[in-house]
A and B are shown apart, each in its own frame.
Chain A
Amino acid sequence: MTKPVLRVQDLAVTFTSETGGIFRRKERQLRAVDGISFELHAGETLGVVGESGSGKSTLARAILGLIQPNRGRVQWMGEDLTGLEEEDLRQKRKQLQIVFQDPVASLNPRMTAGDIIAEPLWTFYPNMERLQVDERTRGMMKMVGLLPNQINRYPHEFSGGQCQRIGIARSLVLNPRLLICDEPVSALDVSIQAQIINLMKSLQRKLGLALIFVAHDLSVVRHISDRVMVMYMGQALEVSAKTALYRRPLHPYSNALMKSVAIPDPKLARALRQESWLTGDMPSPYQRPKGCIFHTRCPYRVKRCEADLPALRRMESGDWVACHRAEDLDLSI
């Protein structure tokens, strides 16, 4: 197997906030990302799923250095990004790009589509010829399914789906090797989501991109990913090949997530309703459970889960799971 392009080791991000009155000021810490490790190869797609507050977006930003991690390493092509100076990191960003969730809010309303897409070229290649920039911009527009003659239009003249295409064109204009997508379709209408997912999949294949696809929608993630990481309260509970995860998840939380997804089939949905799923809510991030982080909601918990934190370990299949009972549970769907 080739060497991974991205290697994330024990990455952690902690946010500190102040609480209490004026005279009893206390600091409290929120572990948003708590020791995440994984590898990613060129042309591979890693899906990251989890509920809100699971730390998936923070992880995406920490990998790019948009948020400073407190611990751990992010190695890109063998080079550690976490130790880089601002300017060196900025240069690396040519290769590492991100697409955001809200396509309309993430575009500058006063810039034309062409300027939005070309802006990274101006910053990184200030000496590039005007004509060349224009040509490249039009080429990008065509590639993402926009009409090059829309180059002088403003974001408000485009629909949500088209704005997301502009965002994708901008993120690809520098020829990156890694693209991180943070919920790229969740703000779009259902009929448009499929267009964007198809586009991302074909672009990834065409350009050989390494892709990290962060989303809460498990059906979408399955469709686009090779491997999937399931996050909960900042930790990875499972990292499995897509086919394995969706057929026989190793972690009870992955299983519960999958059983919660609404199925567009009335009879099947009613039949599956017999199964019990997760009760309760995610605990407060300030009061993290001891032992396994998921044990307060886990239907399979045993004594050990309340005391010992299970490590993320590799199973025979090559998939990774953090559960004491992974061997003796059969969670086949």
Chain B
Amino acid sequence: MPLLLEVSDLEVRFDTPEGVVKAVNGMSFQLTEGETLAIVGESGSGKSQLVMAIMGLLAENGSASGRAEFRGRDLMQMTPKELNGIRGRHIAMIFQDPMTSLNPFLTIEKQMIEVVMHHQRLSRDEARAHAIEMLRAVRIPDPEERIRQYPHEYSGGMRQRVMIAMGLLCEPELLIADEPTTALDVTIQAQITELVGQLRKQTRMAIILITHDLAAVAEISDRIIVMYAGEAVEIGSAEDIFYRPQHPYTQGLLASVPRLDRVSDDELQAIPGNPPNLLELPSGCRFRDRCSQAMEECLQRPPLWVSDDGRKSRCFLPMEGGRITHEDRPNEDAA
């Protein structure tokens, strides 16, 4: 599959009253056409800021460096006008809370048609027919009627479907979804997961899913990036991450959640401690304070292991089938 997005050495910094916070510290990854990539991390891991930087949507006190090439064109170098031509048309983004992302004063019709008319130069009737078709695709019942309603007349799950339908309107090549199911009930989560799973099969659209919940993406991702304190600690296929996790943080995350498919009354294997403050990062490995396998070496920056099939782990522990890359110059640490 051809390459769609190539991110290299992306850094995101925020100027705060307490000092400069490096929210993302040198992330590199690739995404091919039609691929579903999940970026998993806890709060403060930098997962959302990473995509906000790519989309040119950082807050005022934020700045980014590095490259993010979308079909060979660097999004980071684009003018706001050029970016506007990409966002919505080629890359669509949906957010966690569907209520706050929809305008409560406008009907769904108005909000959907505006996007299409802006990007695709369709007539109002054509745009409307297209919008109804998309609502039907995300299984909104009775879309001809419901398109005339306001967001508050929709349930939470239906609003998130509308957001997805809006994202799909211009048939983007990439859909970025930031915690698309977190605010929803389990039964509705399952419906949205199934919907995304179908879109993934039926279209050639690539998807980036950002989430704190590993379980939520098990079924629908091809590859997974696990982030911790602004860095990717492990990258691998869904099978690699779930069945053969290499990094102690990934292992810890998987072991710490109670599971419905396994019976256990034992104590959960919690990861001790708390995620680090990005202003006071430990030297060397950022996870070492909480790691059950920490060693003397971990005071140094850990090497990046890479295998031939693109699997990566940043740790002193050797990675199965991997070798240490020498391209990875030790970054100066933020501490």
Contacts and interface: CB of A to CB of B under 8 A. Distances in A.
Contact of B218 (A258, A263, A279): A263
B157 A281 contact: yes
Interface string B152-167: 0001111000000000
Interface stretch (B58-66, B182-190, B320-328): B182-190
A261 B262 CA distance: 13
Contacts of B157: 281
A198 B189 CA distance: 27
Interface stretch (B85-93, B119-127, B269-277, B293-301): B269-277
Interface string B254-292: 101111110111011111101100000000000000100
Contact of B259 (A202, A256, A264, A267): A264
Nearest to B185: A51
Main SS at interface, chain A: helix
A162 interface: yes
A278 to B, nearest CB: 5
A201 B265 CA distance: 10
Interface stretch (A125-133, A216-224, A300-308, A323-331): A216-224
A66 interface: no
Nearest to B277: A159
B9 interface: no
A279 B161 CA distance: 14
A262 interface: yes
Nearest to B194: A273
A282 B197 CA distance: 23
Contacts of A218: 186, 260
A192 interface: yes
Interface string A18-56: 000000000000000000000000000000000110000
A285 B135 CA distance: 25
Contacts of B213: 190, 262
A154 interface: no
B42 interface: yes
B186 A190 contact: no
Max chain A C-beta neighbours (<10 A), residue from B157, B186, B215 = B186
Given A159-B275, A189-B212, A190-B253, A198 B270 contact: yes
Interface in A178-237: 189-195, 197-198, 201-202, 216-220, 222-223
B187 A257 contact: yes
A262 B189 contact: yes
B87 to A, nearest CB: 29
B258 A195 contact: no
B238 interface: yes
Q: How large is the interface on A (under 10, 10 to 19, 20 to 34, 35 or more residues)?
A: 35 or more
B270 A262 contact: no
A161 B219 contact: no
B274 A162 contact: yes
A265 B267 CA distance: 21
A261 B186 contact: yes
A266 interface: yes
A276 to B, nearest CB: 10
A201 B218 contact: no
Contacts of B194: 273
Contacts of B218: 262-266, 269
A191 B271 contact: yes
Max chain B C-beta neighbours (<10 A), residue from A259, A262, A270 = A262
B261 A191 contact: no
Given A190-B42, A218-B186, A266-B219, A261 B260 contact: yes
A265 B261 CA distance: 9
A260 B214 CA distance: 15
B258 A219 contact: yes
A264 B215 contact: yes
22 contacts: A51-B188, A52-B156, A191-B252, A191-B275, A192-B271, A193-B256, A195-B271, A197-B258, A216-B185, A217-B186, A222-B258, A223-B258, A246-B260, A260-B189, A260-B190, A261-B260, A262-B193, A264-B254, A264-B259, A266-B221, A269-B219, A273-B194
Interface of B: 42-43, 155-158, 185-191, 193-194, 197, 212-216, 218-219, 221, 238-239, 242, 252-254, 256-261, 263-265, 267-272, 274-275, 290
